[in-house]
Amino acid sequence: MRGGEGKPGRSPKRQLNAGYVVGGLLMLLTYLVAQHFAVSSPNVVITEEPRIVDEVKSPGETAVVSREVPQIVDNIKAPGETAVVSDEVPQIVDNIKAPGETENGKVVCNMEGRSDTCEVDGDVRTNGTALSVTLVPAASWPERHEWMINPYSRRFASLRKVTVTQLQDRAAAPPCTVTHDMPAVLFGIGGYAANYWHAYADILVPLFVASRRYHGEVTFLVSNIQFRPRWLVKYRAFLQGLSNYDLVDMDGDAQVRCFPRVTVGLRLDKELSIVPELVPGGRLSMADFTGFLREAYALPRGAAASLAREPEKKPRLLLIHRGHYRRILNEPEVARAAEEAGFEAVVTELRGGGDTPEGEVEQARVVNSFDVVLGLHGAGLTNAMFLPPGGVLIQVVPYGNMEDIARAEFSEPATDMGLRYLDYSVGAEESSLMETLGPEHPAVKDPASVHRSGWDKVFELYLAKQNVRINVTRFAPTLAQALDHLRRQ
């Protein structure tokens, strides 16, 4: 017998049994720890087959997972809710909800760009006195959330903000006093809405984008009416074209109103225009908007004059008269030049339709009877949206490197409306600044230096203190371009 061979040793079978015991204990321990973490985690995200969570993150972070021992997560909840964990038969999760999207409803807020907006879906309750919109949960959430939203499309405008709240507990909700079965859009009418261009760019176009998808089955909740009481009267025909219901004055509304959905605030994606890809509920364009205007204001003409079909017809040109500053000093001469070019020219002052719905509609019908609108840069050019499709907008751009500003407000919008846009830039010799300030003044000699000094100076010198005398010989090619466009239709 060799040395050592006859000594007693450990049985291989006992070693194997001990290994099973230790391994089983380790797996049981891992299972219990994983179960504890899965139940207590507020936000578990599963992207592949079921696994055990071995590191729990805070709400909003993705949990790190291990493939060792399978577990089932059969109902993934939104941030702040508890995931239900089972130790039955492993299966793939097929009911994963996006953050905030649960049977409790959801709040989706967008703070990008110029505007702040929230879409609130579920059991939504509004209160005008508090200027609040509250989402009431069907079941409790672990915490309360709150947003402050400017109901005007430009967030820097000074309006009272709307408090949007996602309640933690249903018990804290005020009871409904009025229940609506249609959605609502909440917006404010302060800001710059007294200006005709801003009324459309900041409120009416964004309101069309927010509410057209409902085909009239929407209620408008309006704040800040006390500061613009005539505004809603003036645009009554427009508002009635979008909503079948009386609007609610939020400043004086003490009711708790319940809605299935409320849009808070208006979104401005493009100046006096629409970005079709960003429209909620389906694509809309500025052509749809001007089509809506023709319907709401009963505008008769849906196409501009076509000289190809009616070569003997004179297209009509409207020259906008400005009665105060930024005037065209030689209007009669410009009108004669338009007549000589082949137009029927009319000089008219447009005052934004006054403060009555009848005035706004009547002004729209006047403009709709023309084929071309011509005017110096200003809010009056907003009336071009009433032109029939295929018409022409000619903007006279004041002296002083004002092309970028002028085109941003009217060039792309006019094109998006289905109009031909043309502009004519005034030279220094056509500007009244040459006489009032002299050729050596920086405003005349170096407009870039004025722009560097800030907007207030730009507005004062080039918009508030400047009139123009158009050189009709120099202007003649622009009139010819407009006429050629109508010939080719």
From the list 86, 113, 256, the residue with the least C-alpha distance to 173 is: 256
**What is the reported pLDDT for 66?**
34
Cα separation values, 70 from 19, 34, 37, 236, Å: 22, 10, 14, 63
| Other Cβ atoms within 10 Å of 358 Cβ, number | 12
pTM for the structure as a whole: 0.79
Same domain, 333 and 461: yes
Q: Which residues, in sequence order, are CB contacts of 208 under 8 Å at separation 6+?
A: 242, 274, 284, 289, 292
pLDDT digits (tens, 9 = 90+) for 334-382: 999 999 999 999 999 997 667 788 999 999 999 999 999 999 999 999 9
Cβ atoms 433, 461 nearer than 8 A: yes
* DSSP state string for 375-422: EESSGGGGGGGGSPTT-EEEEEEPTTT-HHHHHHHHHHHHHHTT-EEE
Q: Pick from 284, 303, 335: which residue ends a domain?
A: 284
Best-predicted range by mean pLDDT among 15-24, 71-80, 112-121?
Answer: 112-121
Q: How many domains does the chain have?
A: 2
Within a domain: 35: no
* DSSP state string for 281-325: TS---HHHHHHHHHHHTT---SS---TTT-TTPPPEEEEEE-SSS
291 vs 19, more confident: 291
Within a domain: 45: no
Same domain, 371 and 249: no
> Which alpha helices (DSSP H) does 196-298 contain, by range?
196-198, 205-211, 231-234, 236-242, 286-296
Same domain, 346 and 246: no
Same domain, 268 and 135: yes
Separation CA 232–CA 1 (nearest Å): 113
Within a domain: 60: no
From the list 361, 391, 394, 399, the residue with the least C-alpha distance to 375 is: 394
Same domain, 346 and 251: no
Same domain, 116 and 256: yes
| Whether pLDDT at 10 is above 60 | no
Same domain, 329 and 463: yes
Task: At 280, list the tokens.
Answer: 């909620």
Residue-averaged pLDDT of the chain: 84
| Whether pLDDT at 432 is above 90 | yes
Separation CA 356–CA 336 (nearest Å): 33
Longest dimension (CA), the chain: 133
Beta-bridge partners for 316: 344
Q: Pick from 233, 265, 284: which residue ends a domain?
A: 284
pLDDT digits (tens, 9 = 90+) for 132-146: 999 999 888 889 999
Task: At 414, list the tokens.
Answer: 């006019």
Same domain, 329 and 370: yes
Same domain, 275 and 350: no
Separation CA 44–CA 57 (nearest Å): 8
Provide mean pLDDT across the span 214-226. Answer: 97
Same domain, 213 and 358: no
Same domain, 153 and 257: yes
Q: Which residue type does 87 have?
A: D
Q: Tell me which residue range forms the domain holding 386.
A: 316-488
**What is the reported pLDDT for 357?**
83
Rg (CA), the chain: 33
